[in-house]
Amino acid sequence: MSDRIYDVIIIGGGPGGLTSGIYTGRENLRTLLLDKMLCGGWLNMTGVIENYPGFPEGINGMELGARMKEQAQKFGVGIRELEEVKSVDPSGEMISVETAKEVYKTRSLIVSPGSRVRELGVPGEKEFLGKGVSYCATCDGPLFRDRIVAVIGGGNAALEEALFLTKFVSRVYLIHRRDKFRGEKYVVGELEKNDKVNFVMNSLPVSINGNKDVESITIKNKETGQDELIEVEGVFIFVGVEPNTEFLQGVVEMDEGGFIKTDVNMRSSVPAIFAAGDVRSGNVRQISAACGEGTVAALSVRNLLVEY
C-alpha cells in the first residue's frame, strides 16, 4: 500500500481528467492521475479537431492531448499511465483506490475514465476485427486507400469518420437504420456534396461476410424487408459508446446505461467522488464540455477540501 495520502486522485487522462489535474495541481493539491492506457483518451484516435476553441485552423487530437498532459505535469500532477483501477472503496475515512500495483488513499476522487465503442453485435464483426472491421477511421482509414468501405451509424462519429474516409477510399456506403441522421446537419451537408458517398438509409446490418478478410456486408431494408449484399472490403462501425464504469459498480449511483449521475457540481451520490466527461450521465461527448466538467469537478474538490 502507498503510504502517501493524496488530496485528490483522478481516474482517466482524457480532456476531463487532465483539465481537473491542471486546476488541482495549480491549487497545490497533492494530485495523482491514473490512466489504464496512455493519457489523451479518445484524442489519441482523433485526427484534426475543428471545434475546440482557440484553434481556428484545427489541432491534431494527439497533439492537443500531449499539450494538456504537459500542462498538468507542469503544475505537479503525478501521472501514472498503464495502471488500471480495479476498485474504489469509499467506506473508510479515506477513499481507497486499488490498482494491480498499489492501493492508494485519497481525500477525494474525480472519475473521468471515458467511454469505449459499442459493438454492433452481428455475425462476422468479431471474426473480421482487424481484417476489414474497424472502430477507428483515423487509425485504419489509410489502409483502405482506393477500396470500397461501409460506415455504420447515424451519429456524429459515423458522419465525421465517413467524411474523413473519403480522403482515402474510392467509395463509402453510409448505412443508417433510420431515414434521418442524429449527427450535425453541417457534416451531413458536406457528405451530400461528396460524390464518393452513397447513403443507404432505413437499413440494418445483418452480417459481415468474407473468407480471410471482409468481402461484403448484408443489410436488411426495414421498409421492404429485403436483404441486400454490398461488396465492401472495410466495415467501420460507429454505433455509440459505453461508459468505462465497471470498477464503480455499486459504489456510486448510475443511470440505466451505466453513466454516473452527478449534480451540477459534478458530485456523484458519494460526497467526495466527482465525475467529469463522457462517463457522466447527460454528457454531450465534446472535448470542450469534458474540459468544462473537469474544471467544475476540480473546483468542487477544492471547496470540499477547504471544509475538510
H or E segment at 9? strand 5-11
Helix axes 287-307 and 15-26, enclosed angle (nearest 10)? 40
115-117/103-111 β-pairing: unpaired
Residue 152 beta carbon to ligand NAP: minimum distance, rounded to whole angstroms:
6
State the Cα–Cα distance between residues 49 and 51, nearest whole angstrom.
6
Select which of 89, 139, 227, 255 is catalytic: 139
Map the footprint of ligand NAP across residues 203-232, applying CB under 6 A: 204
Select 5 or 284, whichever has its Cβ closest to ligand NAP.
Answer: 284
The residue range among 85-93, 138-146, 156-164, 245-253 that interacts with ligand NAP, by the rule CB under 6 A, is: 156-164
Dig out the grid coordinates for 127 from the structure.
471474426
291 labelled catalytic: no
Q: Which of 300, 232, 234, 240 is nearest to 271 (CA)?
A: 300
Among 7, 35, 39, 140, the one annotated catalytic: 140
What is the bridge-based pairing of β-strands 31-34 and 241-243?
unpaired
86: left (phi over 0), alpha (psi -120 to 50) or beta: alpha
Place of cell 452481428: 122
State the minimum distance, in angstroms, from the CB of residue 207 to ligand NAP: 13
Our CB check for ligand NAP shows the closer of 241 and 273 to be 241
The answer to whether 35 is a known catalytic residue is: no
Select from 43, 68, 133, 158 the one that contacts ligand NAP (CB under 6 A): 158
Does 153 contact ligand NAP by CB under 6 A?
yes
The residue nearest ligand NAP at its CB is 155
Active site residue 39: no
> Which residues are tagged catalytic?
136, 139-140
Residues that bind ligand NAP (CB under 6 A): 51, 120, 152-158, 160, 177-178, 182, 204, 238-241, 284-286
